[in-house]
Structure 1
Amino acid sequence: MTVKVKPAYEPLNELTVLDVIKPLNFFNSASLNNLVVQEIGDGNLNLVFRVQDSDSQKALIVKQALPYAKVVGESWPLTLDRARIESDALLQEAESVPHLVPKVYYSDSHLAVTVMEDLSDHVILRKGLIEGNTYPLLAKDIGTFAANTAFYSSDFYLHPFDKKEKVKRFSNPELCKITEDLVFTDPFFDHDTNEFPAELKSSVEKIWSDQELLREVAQLRFSFLTRAEILLHGDLHTGSIFVKEDSTKVIDPEFAFYGPAGFDLAHFFANLTLNHLSQNAHTKEPFHRESVQSFLLQTIEKTWETYTNTFTELWREKSSDPFVKTEGVLENFLQHTFQEAIGFAGCEVIRRTIGLAHVVDLDSIEQKDIELFYKKKALELGSYLIKNQRKFTSITQLTNWIRGA
C-alpha cells in the first residue's frame, strides 16, 4: 500500500499557485496555458493571488495564510489554522446570507489555502468612501449580514450541544490575542506598538491617565474575553467589505470567533465614524461633503434598524429559547448589544488613531495640522463613547452626537 505524503507547507508564488488551481477543473483544459497570475495582496497577514483565463476573463482568488504577520515579519509567528477558520466562517455565513459573502470553491488546511470567488468588479469600501462615493445597499446588507450570522450562531437558535461545539470549532486564540492587545490594551498604555505623531502626546497621555476611561475599557476587554454569544466576523471594518452599486460582500473572516454580539457592529460603526471625520478634509465641495457625511450617518442608523428588525423577526419565527415569549428578554438583549457596541466602537476609534494599525482615512489627510486636528477629535470622540456608552438609548442619539462632534 502506497501512502501519499502531503508536501511540506511552503508559501505560494505566481508559479506554484497553479499547482493548486489546475486540479480543481475550474478552468477548462484548453485554458490552462492561458492563465495569468498576479499577486494582489496588500494586507498584513496573507498572500493573495488572482488567477485569470486571459481569453475568457474568467478568474478566481487564491488566498494563503502565512505563518507570521507580514506587517512585522517572522518574529511575529501566527497559526496557519486561521485559514481553516476563515473558510469555515465563510461557509457558515453562506448558509444564511450567501449573496453577502464570496463563494468558496476549495480549501486546504494543510496548505492554509482558500480558493474563492473573484470580486474584482467590486472595490474596497474604505477606498470608495474616501473618494466620496455612496452605496445604497450598504446599510441593509450589513445589517442583514450581522443579524443573520448572529441569530443562527446563537443559543437562541442552536441546541446547546451544537452551540458549544461551534465555540470549540471557532476557537481562535492567537488572532483573538492580537485583538485583545491592539484594540483593548496597548493603546491605553505607553506601549511600544503604539504609533502617533509627537504633537498628539498630550492628548494620548490624557487617555492613559483617565481612570474612569480605563475602568470602562477593562470591562469591555473582559466582555471580549468571556462572552461567547455569537459567531463574529471579528474584524468587520471598511477594509473587510467589497462593494459596488448593487452588491456588498463581506470578506476576510480569519479573525472569526465566538464573542459579544455588539463587537462586529461596533467596528463597522467606528470606521464609518472615522470616515465621517475625515470627509471634512477629503471632500472639498461643501454640498457634496454634507451629502456624503449624511449618507454615513444614515448608514449607521439603517444598519442598526435592519439588524434589530431582522433579528426580531428571526427571534419570533425561529427561536428555540424557552423565554422567547417573555416580555423584555429580546429587548434587554438588543439594548445590551447596542450599548456595548458603542463602547467597543470607542475603543476601535482610539486604536485606529494611535495604535499599531491606523486607517488611511485620517492618515492620508495632506495637511499635517488638519490631520492632527481630526485625530484629536477622534480621540475625544472615542473617549466619550467609551465613558458614556450606557447613556445612549437610540441610534439617532448616537448619530446626532457624531454629527455635532
Structure 2
Amino acid sequence: MTILNQSTYEPLTEDTAVKLALQLSLFDTDAVLKCREIGDGNLNLVFHIKDEINQESIIIKQALPYAKVVGESWPLTLQRNKIEANALKVAANFVPELVPEVYFTDEELAITVMEDLSHLEIARKGLIENHQYPLLSKHIGTYMAKTLFHSSDYALDPKVKKEKVKEFINPELCKITEDLVFTDPFFDHETNNFEEDLLANVHDLWNRTELKLEVAKLKKKFLTNTETLLHGDLHTGSIFASSDETKVIDPEFAFYGPIGFDIGQFIANLLLNAISIQSQKREFLYNHVSTTWSVFTDQFSSLWETEGVEIYTKVPGYLEFTLQEILEDTIGFAGCELIRRTIGLAHVADLDGIVDHGQRIQAKKNALLLGQTLIMNRKNIVSIDDLLQEVRSVIQND
C-alpha cells in the first residue's frame, strides 16, 4: 500500500501508520517502531508510534468519516482534520508552549502528525484522581486570552478577519454543538441519556419555558456571533497537563464564535469535577475557576491596550463593557455545558464514574440545578466571586 501517493481516503491501520512514519523520515534509519491505536474519543483514530531504540515517539491522528460513538449512520466531513491542524498552527503563533507541535498534515488522508504528549496526562483523568495541577488555570487563562484576542476584530484588520472566518467555516461539527449542547438536552430527544432516577428533574427542566427562552438566546449567539476563532471543545478532556506543563489538544471543532464559549466550556468542566467530589475538597477547583478568569481578563486587557487595532478600543468604557458581556456569555454557556454533560448524549467520567448510585444521582441533580441557575441568573452575576458564591449556594448541601 502506497500511503502518501494514494488518491483516495482509507483509514490507517497500525501497520500502515508505521509505514507512513517511515515514509516521512520522522525516525532514525535504525529505528525499531512499535505502534498502538490509542484513540478513545468519538471521531478519530489516534496512533502512538515509538522508536524502541532511541525512545522517540510521535502521534498520528486521522479523522474518521463518521462518529465512532454512533457509527457509519452518522457521517462526518474529513475537512475537520484540516481545520484542527490549522487551528493548532494559529495557536502556535501566540502560545507555542501550550499546544503540541505539528510535524506534518495531509488533507487527502485527513491526518495530522504531531508531538507526542504521553508524558503528560489528560486533565480530566488527573482531576478525578485528585491531581491539582497548580498551573492549569494560569496556563489556560493565558491560552484563551492570547488566542481569542489575536483572532478577533480587536486585533485583526476587518478584511483579514473575515477571510479567517471563511477559512474556519465548520458546519458539521458546529451542528453537533448546536444539537448536543443547545437543543437536545432541553427537549425530549432520542439522543438524551440519563438514569431513571433523574426523570422527574429532567421533565421539570423540559417544562421550563423561561429556561428554554434563555437557552434560545445563547444558541442564537453561538449561531450568529463570529467574534473570534474558538477552540470549540475546550473541556478538561482536551487538555494534557502535569504539575508544570499544559497542552491544549483537539481543536477540530474550531470556528469563529463568541469569546465566552471557550471560557464557559472550560469553567463548566472544572465545576463538573467539583460537583463530583466531597465538598471539603472543592476549594482548589474554585481557585482554578477564579484564576482562569483573572488571568484571562488581565492578559486580554493588556493586549487590548497595547495591540488593539480597532479604533474603539481606545474609547474609555468599551473594554469594561466587552469583558462584562464575555462574563455573561461565559456563565450562560457554562450552564448549558453542565446540563448537556449530565443528561445529553456525551457524558463525563467525573459524574458517571461516581461508584455509589445515590451519590451519583445527587451529583447529577446538583449539576442540573446549577446549570439552570447559571443560565437564568447570568445577567445578575457581575463578577467571578459572584459566580462562585452562586455555585457554593447550589451545591453545598450534598
User: Gaps (5+ residues) in structure 2?
Assistant: none
CA deviations on 1:39-76 (whole Å, 9 max, x unpaired) are 11100000000000001110000000000000000000
Distance across 1 between alignment mates of 2:199 and 2:110: 41
Instruction: Describe the SS at the equivalent of 1:61.
Output: strand
TM-score w.r.t. the length of structure 1 is 0.95
Matches within 5 A, 1:357-376: 357-376=346-365
Which residue of the other structure, out of 286, 306, 309, is the alignment partner of 2:298? Answer: 309
Matches within 5 A, 1:151-166: 151-166=149-164
1:24 aligned partner, one-letter code: L
Which residue of the other structure, out of 363, 370, 384, is the alignment partner of 2:373? Answer: 384
2:143 aligned partner, one-letter code: F
Q: 2:201 matched to which residue of 1? A: 203
Distance across 2 between alignment mates of 1:339 and 1:278: 25
Q: 1:94 matched to which residue of 2? A: 92
2:390 is the alignment partner of 1:401: yes
Instruction: Describe the SS at the equivalent of 1:62.
Output: strand
Q: 1:12 matched to which residue of 2? A: 12
For these two proteins, the number of residue pairs brought into alignment is 391
**21-30 vs 53-62, greater mean Cα deviation:** 21-30
CA deviations on 1:168-189 (whole Å, 9 max, x unpaired) are 0000000000000000000000
Shift of 1:5: 6.2
CA deviations on 1:219-274 (whole Å, 9 max, x unpaired) are 00000000000000000001000001110000000000000010000001101101
Shift of 1:397: 1.0
CA deviations on 1:2-35 (whole Å, 9 max, x unpaired) are xx9633210000001123211222211111xx10
Instruction: Describe the SS at the equivalent of 2:334.
Output: helix
Distance across 1 between alignment mates of 2:385 and 2:313: 27
Distance across 1 between alignment mates of 2:55 and 2:393: 48
Instruction: Describe the SS at the equivalent of 2:236.
Output: coil
Distance across 2 between alignment mates of 1:387 and 1:58: 51
RMSD: 1.0
1:354 aligned partner, one-letter code: I
1:42 aligned partner, one-letter code: D
1:403 aligned partner, one-letter code: R
Distance across 2 between alignment mates of 1:123 and 1:23: 29
Matches within 5 A, 1:5-404: 6-31=6-31, 34-280=32-278, 290=280, 292-404=281-393
CA deviations on 1:168-218 (whole Å, 9 max, x unpaired) are 000000000000000000000000000001111110011111011000000
Name the CA shift for 1:138/1:103 in 2 (closer, same or farther; >3 Å). same
CA deviations on 1:274-293 (whole Å, 9 max, x unpaired) are 1001012xxxxxxxx63x41
User: Gaps (5+ residues) in structure 1?
Assistant: 281-288
Distance across 1 between alignment mates of 2:105 and 2:295: 32
Shift of 1:327: 0.8
Instruction: Describe the SS at the equivalent of 1:133.
Output: coil
Instruction: Describe the SS at the equivalent of 2:183.
Output: helix
CA deviations on 1:140-162 (whole Å, 9 max, x unpaired) are 10000001011110001101111
CA deviations on 1:329-372 (whole Å, 9 max, x unpaired) are 11111100001110000000000000000111111111111111
Percent identity between the two aligned chains: 55
Distance across 1 between alignment mates of 2:224 and 2:393: 34
Distance across 2 between alignment mates of 1:192 and 1:252: 27
Q: Which runs of 4+ in 1 moved over 6 A?
A: none
2:311 aligned partner, one-letter code: P
Name the CA shift for 1:268/1:176 in 2 (closer, same or farther; >3 Å). same
Instruction: Describe the SS at the equivalent of 1:12.
Output: coil
Distance across 1 between alignment mates of 2:7 and 2:312: 52
Instruction: Describe the SS at the equivalent of 1:161.
Output: helix
Name the CA shift for 1:39/1:164 in 2 (closer, same or farther; >3 Å). same
TM-score w.r.t. the length of structure 2 is 0.97
Shift of 1:400: 2.0
Q: 1:284 matched to which residue of 2? A: none
Distance across 1 between alignment mates of 2:118 and 2:14: 18
Instruction: Describe the SS at the equivalent of 2:179.
Output: helix
